[in-house]
């Protein structure tokens, strides 16, 4: 088996006295969906923030493709092949759908094209078009992202993350606030992503977690409580007490 695409070990951070993430260790395998679950405030988003360079960890390491990227700036992590979405929709609301995608796809172009007219970046343009089609947003390409429905915005956010052709994709509650139908569609979409990328997911909908995940990491009060295949994790009495007990 090849080396995991993402290896996190002993990652910790504290806010004031609060150990928001406390010595968390896990790995995400290639072309698999690894899901992080846990009650509100368990530290899931904070864990994502440390992996994606939004926060510098207090201690621990993050390896991407075996390379130490601990505490690297987000733009460097992007170069290493990591892409992330946000729990609260985070797009360029004043720019069009196509422009949101084009900005993300531009990193596929050689750096020298940055100072040539935009139409010379043909690869970024082709990628934008492909993303619009794959995510069924072609007819909305010239709409402002801020004018899209919530469901479309969440989908665009995934498309933006994917447009840079990452190795590993971090999705923070992609189905949050979605209708039942949109949630089901998104689940199907996320499943189809594993052809190209490895996915690290945060998800609250337990049904979805069981259906989608190859591997589940359970967090509780900043610590890793358990990990394993979905069924095994669900059967774990500790997990039941801490997490499913509340559900």
Partner 1 sequence: MLDRLTLSMRASHVLAALLVVAALVLAVVGSAIGDTFYLRLATEALIFAGLALSVDLLLGYSGALSLGQALYFGIGAYTSALVLMKVPSFWLAMGAAAGMTFVCAIIGGLIANRVRGVYFALITFGLAQVVAKVVYNIRDLGASDGMIGIPVIDIGIGPFSVSAGNPVGFFLVVLVIIMALYAATAYLLDTPFGRVLTALKANEKRVPFLGYSVWRARMVCYLAAALIAGLSGALYPMLRGFVSPELMFFMTSGNAVISVILGGVGTLVGALYGSVFLVIIKSVIGSWTDHYLIIIGLLFMAGVLFMPKGLIGFVRPHVERMIAPRHLRETRAPEQDAPLKAEEVKP
Ligand X SMILES: Nc1ncnc2c1ncn2[C@@H]1O[C@H](COP(=O)(O)OP(=O)(O)OP(=O)(O)O)[C@@H](O)[C@H]1O
CB neighbours of 104 closer than 8 A, spacing ≥ 6?
A: 160, 161, 163, 164
40: partner contacted, choices Mg ion, partner 1, ligand X, none (Cβ within 5-8 A by kind): ligand X
Cβ neighbours around 164 below 10 Å, total? 21
23, 25, 61, 87: residue in contact with partner 1 (rule CB under 8 A) = 87
Nearer to Mg ion, 37 or 105 (CB): 37
Angle at 144 between CA 175 and CA 185, to 5 degrees: 25
Angle at 9 between CA 8 and CA 12, to 5 degrees: 100
Q: How far is CA 98 from CA 8, 65, 154, 226, 242, in A?
A: 34, 31, 15, 41, 43
Which residues from 119-178 bind partner 1, rule CB under 8 A? 121, 124-125, 142-144, 146-147, 160, 164
Contacts with ligand X by CB under 6 A lie at 15, 20, 38, 40-46, 87
95: partner contacted, choices partner 1, ligand X, Mg ion, none (Cβ within 5-8 A by kind): partner 1
Nearer to partner 1, 1 or 75 (CB): 75
Supply the minimum distance, in Å, between the C-beta of residue 45 and ligand X: 3
30, 31, 32, 113: residue in contact with partner 1 (rule CB under 8 A) = 113
89: partner contacted, choices partner 1, Mg ion, ligand X, none (Cβ within 5-8 A by kind): partner 1
Tally the residues of the chain.
247
φ/ψ of residue 229, rounded to 5: -65, 155
Closest CA to 135 of 83, 167, 98, 104: 98
98 lies in the binding site for partner 1 (CB under 8 A)? yes
* Helix (H/G/I), strand (E/B), else coil: 37: strand
13, 51, 84, 242: residue in contact with partner 1 (rule CB under 8 A) = 84
Unique residue bearing structure tokens 């801020």: 146
Residue numbers of the site for partner 1 (CB under 8 A)?
A: 45, 49, 52-55, 73-75, 78-79, 83-84, 86-96, 98-99, 102-104, 106-107, 109, 113-118, 121, 124-125, 142-144, 146-147, 160, 164
Residue numbers of the site for Mg ion (CB under 5 A)?
A: 45, 87
């Amino acid at each position: 088996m090849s080396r995991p695409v993402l290896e996190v070990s002993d990652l910790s951070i504290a806010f004031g006295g609060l150990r928001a993430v406390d010595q968390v260790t896990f790995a995400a395998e290639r072309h698999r969906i690894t899901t992080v679950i846990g009650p509100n405030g368990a530290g899931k988003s904070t864990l994502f923030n440390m992996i994606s360079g939004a926060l510098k960890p207090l201690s621990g390491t993050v390896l991407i493709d075996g390379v130490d990227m601990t505490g690297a700036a987000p733009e460097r992590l992007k170069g290493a092949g990591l892409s992330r979405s946000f729990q609260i929709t985070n797009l360029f609301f004043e720019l069009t759908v196509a422009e949101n995608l084009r900005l993300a796809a531009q990193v596929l172009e050689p750096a020298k094209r940055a100072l040539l007219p935009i139409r010379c970046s043909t690869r970024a343009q082709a990628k934008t078009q492909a993303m619009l089609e794959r995510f069924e947003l072609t007819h909305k390409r010239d709409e402002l992202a801020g004018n899209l429905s919530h469901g479309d915005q969440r989908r665009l956010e995934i498309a933006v993350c994917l447009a840079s052709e990452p190795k590993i994709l971090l999705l923070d509650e992609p189905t949050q606030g979605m209708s039942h139908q949109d949630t089901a569609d998104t689940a199907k979409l996320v499943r189809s992503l594993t052809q190209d990328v490895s996915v690290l997911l945060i998800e609250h909908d337990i049904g979805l977690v069981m259906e989608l995940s190859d591997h589940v990491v359970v967090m509780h009060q900043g610590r890793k409580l358990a990990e394993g295949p979905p069924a095994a994790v669900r059967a774990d009495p500790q997990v039941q007490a801490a997490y499913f007990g509340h559900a």
